[in-house]
Amino acid sequence: MQIAVMLVIAYLLGSIPTGLWIGKLFYHTDIRESGSGNLGATNSFRVLGKKAGIAVTVIDILKGTAAVLLLHLPAFQDAGIHPLTLGIAAVVGHMFPVFAKFRGGKAVATSGGVILGYSWPFFIVLIASFLIVLKLTKMVSLTSMAMGIVGLAYAAVNYFMTGDLYLLVVIFLLTAFIFYRHRANIGRIKAGTEPKVKWL
């Protein structure tokens, strides 16, 4: 029962539609009706601007981090569940949020937050890599998928060093989520029509 409660809490944390709520509360704009129609950080930057985009990114990251850190609460310390399992629940909530008719983001920022909660050095590697690749490509979608590959490489090396197979499996799942959610972007990248960021 305790594990079920934690999974539900993690899912609900992930389900918080940050871009939708910030857009409606501060900009009187439903970002689902503009840009790509996505609730994630990239469309928030595109529709609402840099300040809102940064806020959405940070909060979406922290959703994943909060889910992983649930095990640090006194009520849940003996729950017997791996923290990354809670992270997956949060990412699923982000992609299919109950608060936004199950139309959510593309799993990138919240996946990063899961990694931050589990291993901050891993998160730093991903952030640094993300900024470098984004600077070179100007495409958030391509950069996001590239980070999945970087994450897999890191988790694979980490597995051989520490034996943390669970991290490797979870990173594989998160990368699969990211690629699946970017399938339309992949088509546009191949066609040379994928939008590029103008703020970097």
Tokens of 54: 């940064």
Give me the number of domains the chain comprises: 1
Mean pLDDT, to the nearest integer, of 140-158? 96
Residue 77 lies in a domain: yes
What per-residue string of b and e applies to 145-167 under the rule 16 or more CB within 10 Å gives b? bbbbebbeebbeebbeeeebeeb
Helical segments of the chain, H only: 2-15, 18-27, 41-48, 50-68, 83-95, 108-118, 120-137, 140-162, 165-181, 183-191
Can you read off the two tokens belonging to residue 51? 């300040």
* pLDDT of 125 strictly over 90: yes
The C-alpha R_g of the chain, in whole angstroms, comes to 17
pTM listed for this prediction: 0.93
| Structural domain boundaries enclosing 124 | 2-191
199 pLDDT band (50/70/90 cuts)? low
Residue 66 lies in a domain: yes
The answer to whether residue 199 sits within a structural domain is no
Q: Is residue 21 part of a domain?
A: yes
- Tell me the percentage of the chain whose pLDDT exceeds 70: 99
Calculate the average pLDDT of the chain.
92
Answer whether residue 200 is part of any domain: no
The tens digit of pLDDT for each residue in 43-52 reads: 888 888 889 9
**Which residues lie closer than 8 Å to 77 by C-beta, 6 or more apart?**
71
Q: What angle is formed at CA 100 by the lines to CA 127 and CA 27, rounded to 5 degrees?
A: 75
Distances (CA, A) of 121 to 110, 128, 130, 185: 17, 11, 14, 29
pLDDT tens-place string over residues 1-35: 889 999 999 999 999 999 999 999 999 898 988 87
Average pLDDT estimate for 76-96: 93
